[in-house]
Amino acid sequence: MTRPVIEITVVFPHLMDLHGDSANARVLKARAGWEGIDVRIVDRSDAADFGGSPPDIVVIGSSAEADLANAADHVRIFGPRIRDWHAAGCQILAVGTGMDLLSNSVELAPGRVEPGLGIFSGHALVLPAWASGALSARTGNPSTKLGGFENHARGYVLGLDERPLGRVRRGVGNGDGHEGVERTGAMGTHLHGPVLSNNPDLADGLLTRALRRRHGEDFTACSAATHSADALARHIRQVHF
Amino acid sequence: MDATQEFLTTSHRMGRGARARDACALLAARCVRWMLRSVARRGGSALPGLVADWVSPRLLPRTLASFPRGVVVVTGSSGKSTTTRMLTSVLREHGMTVFTNPSTANMRRGIISAIVDRSRLPSGFSEEIAVLELDEPAAARLAADIEFRLVVVTNVMSDQLDRFHAPDIVAGHIGTACAGAAEIVANGDDGMVQDALARVVGSVRWFGAASTVRPSTSLGFGFARDAEVSSWVRNPATVVVSTTGTTAVLNCHGDRISIRLPARGVHYAADAAAALEAARALLGGGFSLTAVIAAFDVMEPVFGRGEVVTLGGEDVELVLVQNIASFQLNIDQLDSRSEQLLVAVGSDVADPSWLWSVNLSTLPPVSVVSGSRAHDVALRMAYEGIDVDEVDADLQRAIRGFLARPRPANGHKTIVFTADPMRRVRRMLGLAEGATR
């Protein structure tokens, strides 16, 4: 029996990987690999890359503020393709300004609100002060909390059909007591860099939904490698967040 | 403190104002330093510097303005310490007397502490020139108080984002630091540095590295943005032509020169190019390539960079890493002799996310990870598929255990650490700064 294969696409890694956000694709690949599932990671940056078959998961990271206009142009040009993939069932993880640009509208500079890609239905608005430091949030599951770091200029006002990933315990997050956003098939967060390694529940959620759609089977994380990595992540969340 | 304040006010009224206030500041700071050392048995505290700055906030600019050949500032994301040391050595080899700050004291209070330690009352300094390593915001702030003779800009990296938010903010600090400088020596391969210097008044001189010697990893040198066209292409400059081991060949305004680097690695060669270009600017006609070669020949291995110490009769290599680029470059430099590895990342790394931007695929198996960020390092390695024997956040215990391990059959043990564990390990093992084999 051949191992099931899924494809993860990292979009614009040359522009939108400020804190090593694209590493989240490698985290997904490793976790899938530990359970005997092959993952192919494909970077897509220009028109030539955006042809081809749709991926199962898209990872879009955060740009530096100085590169935001350029990143916004990229999303404007190639975004419709991402929207098609999403409509066809592709899962999306968006971090930082990646989440901002995928929103319904995004305040690029104070007072300058422009339409976003609309994969999320809320609005990414400039915060009164830059948010930087540790960020932790409680999720619906009382035994888990999200933990990591934030470094962003914009907050997020949830759309009516959206849920946050959690309630902020420490840090700023969306700026209104919530952190992140979840909407059918798409997840956005201000937790940058290795958010999926620190919070493996989020990773397994993405893999489960991707596998179910492509192969009709569930993702169960039960290997020894998974357990030891998740024990480290649990320790990090407990001690540092 | 009331008496001190009263005395200060009095001396101010008496017209001896500034000088007396500075003397008081130095005295007060030295008292605090003496108390810390003899009573609390603590050295290296920032407190004496803070006291001096509190008593006389103008002490720093006034002292720095007294160097007859001015103040040279070395700033940028990485390579500051090495470049400062190289430039200082080269200038001294040319017979110049140089005041410089210890590499770990590169913010305002660190400079003041160095002044508290080294200036002589009442005349200040006997050295002709100050060469200061300054972090980017400190350089920008100090530029408001004094005019720099020369600023050396090493590079801009996506570094310490928890502090600076974004590399363009770092570039902004650099632009401010250079705005009023008489001359600037800058990295011509760095796109953000080019942009930051587009509107400065002083003349800009360049250094860089030929494309053939740039690090082959995807990060390259690790600049936030590479230059589209290197500035040294159309300007006379100092450029790294090739490196082999610890030997580097540079092209300095048309002259080829071969020097011995204080550690392996093309980034040290780039630092050397910066130091040469700066020395050339400062010395003018007195600049001698023979003196440069002599200075590099006797240069001590760089503090915590490929430094080999003898502990319990066995060689241990110490490697300091401070950001993505230096982590990458240093682990790429680890050779097959690094058979057993301890990696310690401490609380000085506020946000360890950047560990995920480092390509660890060449890293050998790791014996121990330690420091308060041990678990973050271990998790990063777990996802890279790198075997780690032991995770122990307790640095003392981890180091002791590591050193007690059987000696490797070939090669030697290597400790890779960030600045905070480095300081603690050195203190624990009784190693002085720059202690070498």
What distance lies between CA B368 and its chain's CA centroid?
Answer: 27
Share of chain A above pLDDT 70, in %: 98
Instruction: Suggest the residue from A18, A191, A199 to mutate for an interface test with chain B (most B CBs closer than 10 A).
Output: A18
pLDDT score at A26: 96
Could you say which of B162, B357, B382 has the minimum Cβ distance to residue A232?
A: B382
pLDDT score at B1: 45
A53 to chain B nearest CA, in Å?
27
pLDDT score at B104: 66
Mean pLDDT score of chain A, rounded to an integer? 93
Tens digit of each residue's pLDDT (9 = 90 or more) over A85-95: 999 999 999 99
Question: Residue B141: pLDDT band by 50, 70, 90 thresholds?
Answer: very high
Which residues of chain B are within 8 Å of residue A149 when distances are taken between CB atoms?
162, 351, 353
In terms of CA atoms, which chain B residue is nearest residue A23?
B356
Residue B435 has pLDDT above 50, yes or no: no
Which has the closest alpha carbon to B251: B207, B185, B214, B290?
Answer: B207
- Tell me the C-alpha distance between B236 and A40, whole Å: 47
Q: Do B351 and A149 touch (CB under 8 A)?
A: yes
Yes or no: say if A174 and A131 are a contact pair by the CB < 8 Å rule.
Answer: no
Q: Do A23 and B165 touch (CB under 8 A)?
A: no
Which residues of chain A are within 8 Å of residue B351 when distances are taken between CB atoms?
19, 149, 151, 193
Tens digit of each residue's pLDDT (9 = 90 or more) over B150-189: 999 999 987 777 677 778 888 999 999 999 899 999 999 9
Which residues of chain B are within 8 Å of residue A197 when distances are taken between CB atoms?
356, 379-380, 383
Could you say which of A30, A65, A66 has the minimum Cβ distance to residue B383?
A: A30
A191 to chain B nearest CA, in Å?
10
Residue A158 has pLDDT above 90, yes or no: yes
Sign of CA pseudo-dihedral A175, A177, A181, A183: negative
In terms of CA atoms, which chain A residue is nearest residue B377?
A232
Average pLDDT over residues B207-233: 85
pLDDT score at B12: 45
Average pLDDT over residues B32-56: 77
> In sequence order, what DSSP letters do the residues of B7-35 get, joined into one string?
HHHHHIIIIIHHHHHHHHHHHHHHHHHHH
In terms of CA atoms, which chain A residue is nearest residue B385?
A30
Higher per-residue pLDDT: B316 or B17:
B316
Higher per-residue pLDDT: A143 or A2:
A143
In terms of CA atoms, which chain B residue is nearest residue A132?
B162
pTM: 0.74
In terms of CA atoms, which chain A residue is nearest residue B168?
A66
3-state helix, strand, coil in chain A (%, to 5): 35, 30, 35
Tens digit of each residue's pLDDT (9 = 90 or more) over B294-322: 999 998 776 556 678 888 889 898 888 88
Could you say which of A66, A148, A228 has the minimum Cβ distance to residue B166?
A: A66
A237 to chain B nearest CA, in Å?
10
Average pLDDT over residues B119-138: 84
Q: Which of A86-100, B112-126, B336-350 has the lowest mean pLDDT?
A: B112-126
Could you say which of B357, B378, B379 has the minimum Cβ distance to residue A20?
A: B357
Average pLDDT over residues A211-229: 92
Question: Residue B235: pLDDT band by 50, 70, 90 thresholds?
Answer: confident
CA distances from B397 to A235, B387, B404 (A): 19, 20, 11
Q: Which amino acid is at B402?
A: F
Strands (E) in chain A, as ranges, are 5-11, 38-44, 57-60, 91-95, 105-109, 112-115, 123-124, 126-138, 145-154, 166-170, 178-179, 181-183, 186-189
Q: Do B167 and A197 touch (CB under 8 A)?
A: no
pLDDT score at B323: 82
Could you say which of A130, A192, A225 has the minimum Cβ distance to residue B353?
A: A192
Could you say which of B165, B357, B385 has the minimum Cβ distance to residue A151?
A: B165
Please report, for chain A, how many H helices and E strands are present, in that order: 6, 13
- Tell me the C-alpha distance between B57 and B4, whole Å: 15
Which residues of chain B are within 8 Å of residue A194 when distances are taken between CB atoms?
353, 356, 379-380
- Tell me the C-alpha distance between B67 and B276, whole Å: 21
Q: Which amino acid is at A121?
A: S
pLDDT score at A37: 93
Question: Residue B10: pLDDT band by 50, 70, 90 thresholds?
Answer: very low
In terms of CA atoms, which chain B residue is nearest residue A133?
B162
**A66 CB burial (10 A radius; 0-12, 13-18, 19+):** middle
Instruction: Suggest the residue from B174, B376, B391 to mutate for an interface test with chain A (most A CBs closer than 10 A).
Output: B376
Q: Residue A160 CB: number of other CB atoms within 10 A?
A: 6
Question: What residues in chain B have their Cβ under 8 A from chain A's Cβ atoms?
Answer: 158, 161-162, 165-168, 224, 350-351, 353-357, 375-376, 378-380, 382-383, 385, 391
Average pLDDT over residues A187-193: 97
pLDDT score at B156: 92
- Tell me the C-alpha distance between A154 and A124, whole Å: 6
In terms of CA atoms, which chain B residue is nearest residue A195?
B353
Average pLDDT over residues A206-232: 93
Average pLDDT over residues B97-110: 82
CA triple B306-B389-B407, angle to 5 deg: 55
Q: Do A27 and B354 touch (CB under 8 A)?
A: no
Q: Do A235 and B375 touch (CB under 8 A)?
A: yes
Q: Do B354 and A64 touch (CB under 8 A)?
A: no
Q: Do B224 and A64 touch (CB under 8 A)?
A: yes
Question: Residue A136: pLDDT band by 50, 70, 90 thresholds?
Answer: very high
Residue B216 has pLDDT above 70, yes or no: no
Residue B15 has pLDDT above 50, yes or no: no
Question: Residue B129: pLDDT band by 50, 70, 90 thresholds?
Answer: very high
Q: Which of A126-140, B105-119, B148-162 has the lowest mean pLDDT?
A: B105-119
Bond preceding residue A194 cis, omega within 30 of 0: no
- Under DSSP, the state recorded for B232 is G
pLDDT score at B335: 64
pLDDT score at B45: 66
A193 to chain B nearest CA, in Å?
5
B82 to chain A nearest CA, in Å?
26
Average pLDDT over residues B72-83: 92
pLDDT score at B103: 67
Which residues of chain B are within 8 Å of residue A28 when distances are taken between CB atoms?
none
A104 to chain B nearest CA, in Å?
25
Residue A214 has pLDDT above 70, yes or no: yes
Which has the closest alpha carbon to A146: A87, A195, A97?
Answer: A195
B406 to chain A nearest CA, in Å?
27
Average pLDDT over residues A50-76: 92
pLDDT score at A32: 96
